[in-house]
Structure 1
Amino acid sequence: MSLTETSTGRPRAFSDVLEILAARRAERLCLGEVVEAYGERAFGPVMFFFALINLLPWPPGGTTLTGAPLLLLSAELAWGRDRLWIPRWAEGLSIHRETFRRLIGRFMRPLRRVEAVSRPRLYVLSGGFGQGLIGLACLFLSAVLVLPVFGGNLIPAVAIAFFSLGVMQRDGLAVLLGWLTTAVAVAILFLAWTLIVAGFRHGIDAVQRLI
């Protein structure tokens, strides 16, 4: 049963549903439980959930696991699915509920502030064709996340969080911020690749001079 509405039919905020999930007594929180809680609104919240996880300071290679589910979610969003689908085996993926409580506790205050100012606007950026483009952008960002690069998770995860918020709230401004952050990520990747290629060529030239 979806938790996204109150008994009076009013929609619950994303943060309110997170708190309900955190307050449950079961020791572990499964991905299937999160998807069921949000129902038809699951795309944005689940992607936002994984974006938050990827904002944590993981050691090199950690985001290879935490970023992998975003590849599937982004592909479905780009494909234009109306309702989130996850494989049955993935429904059982879980974290300790106390870890989840600490995680959302760290982000709850800024999340509530964002929710307070977020609202449906610039719909062309978050609906229909715009949502498909968001899916493609998140697919690219998720691919970057799974690369075992220390510190390489921060900017892609922030961009996915903005996109997810835009999808949840139908907020085109959040989507626009996602595109701007994606542009920053692309620029950094291009600069890093340029430096790697230059360093590789410099190394080859140095070896040739020694020979």
Structure 2
Amino acid sequence: MEWLLIVVSLTVIWVASLCKVLHESLSGSKATFLDDGRGSLKRNVLLVIAHPDDESMFFAPTINYLTSKGHNVHILCMSTGNADGMGDTRKQELYLAAATLKVSPQQVNILDHPDLQDGFGKIWNSDLLAGIVKEEVDGHSIDVVISFDNYGVSGHCNHCDVHRENCCRILHTKMLKHGSLSALIYCANTLDQSISGCLSYMQSSIQTDKCISL
């Protein structure tokens, strides 16, 4: 009975999301995320993910949207996804996926840090994550950082650590300490991403130093 309730719930969510997409299409509404109305403002965008395949499973609609608008997309992947010993293979798959999504392999950075290894029960240090993101922001003149919502779609602990409020708070602190907030930080409503391809984001709150999901 429980599995039947789960299937029914997912079906209802999918149908609701589909209706939302169809309604927006028929009404002529357009996605306005990072859209200045003239299409002239191009951004350097950093997508921060935990493992290879996150970009395809959860953020492909976002990447397609951003590249179609001429934005310059970088991908920072915090691990090789080597929990099952397939890290090298998964790295190559990410490079291929990025090329398919029109992101240059030169703009894909896949880490293999000893303290950021893939796996359930492995807690990733927020300060370390924030420092890595900050280096990437500075190194590529990033305007916008995009990552998971607080649940990380599947609830995987690595996804949640990438989002975790402490990471966002520390990243804000590091930026403010150096005189300015050099990048806007957005957290995705990744349920919408994976089910309907909607671009649902909320800018993180500078006042409270927290990332907020829709």
TM range (shorter): under 0.3
- TM-score w.r.t. structure 1 length? 0.26
Larger Rg: 1
| Higher helix proportion (structure 1 or 2) | 1
| Higher strand proportion (structure 1 or 2) | 2
Higher relative contact order (CA 8 A, sep 6+): 1
- TM-score w.r.t. structure 2 length? 0.25
